[in-house]
A and B are shown apart, each in its own frame.
Chain A
Amino acid sequence: MGRTLFDKIWHEHVVADLGNGVALMHVDLHLMHDLGGGPGLRTLAEKGYRVRNPELTFATADHAVSSAPGRTEDTNPVGGRLLRMLREASASNGIRMFDLGSDGQGIVHVIGPEMGLSLPGMTIVCGDSHTCTHGGVGALAFGIGSTELVHVLATQTLVQRKPRRMRVTMDGTPHAGVTPKDLILHLIGLAGAAAGSGFAVEYAGPAIRALGVEGRLTICNLSIELGAKIGMVAPDDATFEYLADRPMAPKGEMWDRAVTHWRRLNSDDDAEFDREVRFDADALAPQVTWGTSPEHVIAIDGRVPDPDGAGDAGRRASMRAALEYMALKPGAPLEGLPIERVFIGSCTNSRLSDLREAARVVKGAKVASRVRAWVVPGSTGVKRAAEAEGLDRIFRDAGFEWREPGCSLCVGANGEMVEPGARCVSTSNRNFVGRQGPGARTHLASPVTAAAAAIAGRLVDVRKLGMEPWKNS
Chain B
Amino acid sequence: MEKFLTLSAIAAPLLRDNIDTDVIIRIDRLVGGRPDELGKYAFELLRYLPDGGENPDFILNLKPYRRAQILLAGANFACGSSREPAVWALQQMGFRCVIAPSFGDIFFANCFQNGMLPIVLDRPTVEAIAAEVEADPEHGFVTVDLEKQTIVSPSGRKIRFEIEPARREALLAGLDEIGMTMSREAEIAAFQARDRNRRPWVYR
B and A form one assembly: yes
| Chain A residues proximal to chain B, CB less than 8 Å | 12, 15-16, 18-20, 22, 24, 26, 28-29, 35, 47, 49, 52, 55-56, 63-64, 78-79, 81-82, 119, 121-122, 127-129, 131, 142-148, 150-151, 154-157, 159, 161, 163, 193-194, 197-198, 224, 227-229, 248, 250, 254-255, 257-258, 261, 292-293, 295, 312-315, 317-318, 321, 411-415, 420, 430, 432-435, 438-439
Q: Which of A82, A154, A313 has the most CB of B within 10 A?
A: A313
Query: Residues of A contacting B110 with CB < 8 Å?
Result: 145, 147-148
Partner of A413, one of B18, B28, B82: B28
B129 interface residue per 8 A CB criterion: no
CB 8 Å contact bits of B50-93 with A (1 = contact, 0 = none): 10000000000000000000000011100111111101000000
CB of B177 within 8 A of CB of A15, answer no
| Chain B residues proximal to chain A, CB less than 8 Å | 15-18, 20, 22-23, 26-28, 30-32, 45, 50, 74-76, 79-85, 87, 101-106, 109-110, 113-114, 123, 127, 164-166, 177-178, 181-182, 184-185, 187-188, 191-192, 195, 199-204
Query: Residues of B contacting A131 with CB < 8 Å?
Result: 82
Shortest beta-carbon distance, A198 to chain B, in Å? 7
Q: Which 5 A-B pairs have the closest CB atoms?
A: A145-B84, A194-B76, A147-B113, A250-B201, A314-B74
Please measure, in the bound complex, the distance between the C-alpha atom of A47 and the C-alpha atom of B177, giving whole angstroms. 13
Shortest beta-carbon distance, B40 to chain A, in Å? 16
CB of B195 within 8 A of CB of A411, answer no
Q: Which of A28, A146, A163, A314 has the most CB of B within 10 A?
A: A314
Shortest beta-carbon distance, B172 to chain A, in Å? 16
Query: Residues of A contacting B45 with CB < 8 Å?
Result: 433-434, 438
Please measure, in the bound complex, the distance between the C-alpha atom of A56 and the C-alpha atom of B45, giving whole angstroms. 39
Partner of B195, one of A22, A26, A292, A318: A26
CB of A261 within 8 A of CB of B199, answer yes
Please measure, in the bound complex, the distance between the C-alpha atom of A420 and the C-alpha atom of B45, giving whole angstroms. 12
CB of A155 within 8 A of CB of B17, answer no
The answer to whether residues A194 and B31 also contact, given A15-B184, A15-B188, A433-B45 and a CB cut-off of 8 A, is no
Query: Residues of B contacting A145 with CB < 8 Å?
Result: 82-84, 87, 106, 109-110, 113
CB of A193 within 8 A of CB of B84, answer no
CB of B82 within 8 A of CB of A127, answer yes
The answer to whether residues A295 and B187 also contact, given A198-B105, A227-B105 and a CB cut-off of 8 A, is no
Please measure, in the bound complex, the distance between the C-alpha atom of A197 and the C-alpha atom of B81, giving whole angstroms. 14
Please measure, in the bound complex, the distance between the C-alpha atom of A15 and the C-alpha atom of B194, giving whole angstroms. 11
Please measure, in the bound complex, the distance between the C-alpha atom of A239 and the C-alpha atom of B202, giving whole angstroms. 17
Apart from A121-B199, A156-B188, A435-B22, 20 more pairs, CB < 8 Å: A15-B184, A15-B187, A19-B166, A20-B165, A24-B184, A56-B202, A64-B31, A78-B32, A127-B82, A142-B106, A143-B106, A145-B110, A155-B188, A227-B105, A293-B18, A293-B20, A411-B27, A413-B31, A433-B45, A434-B23
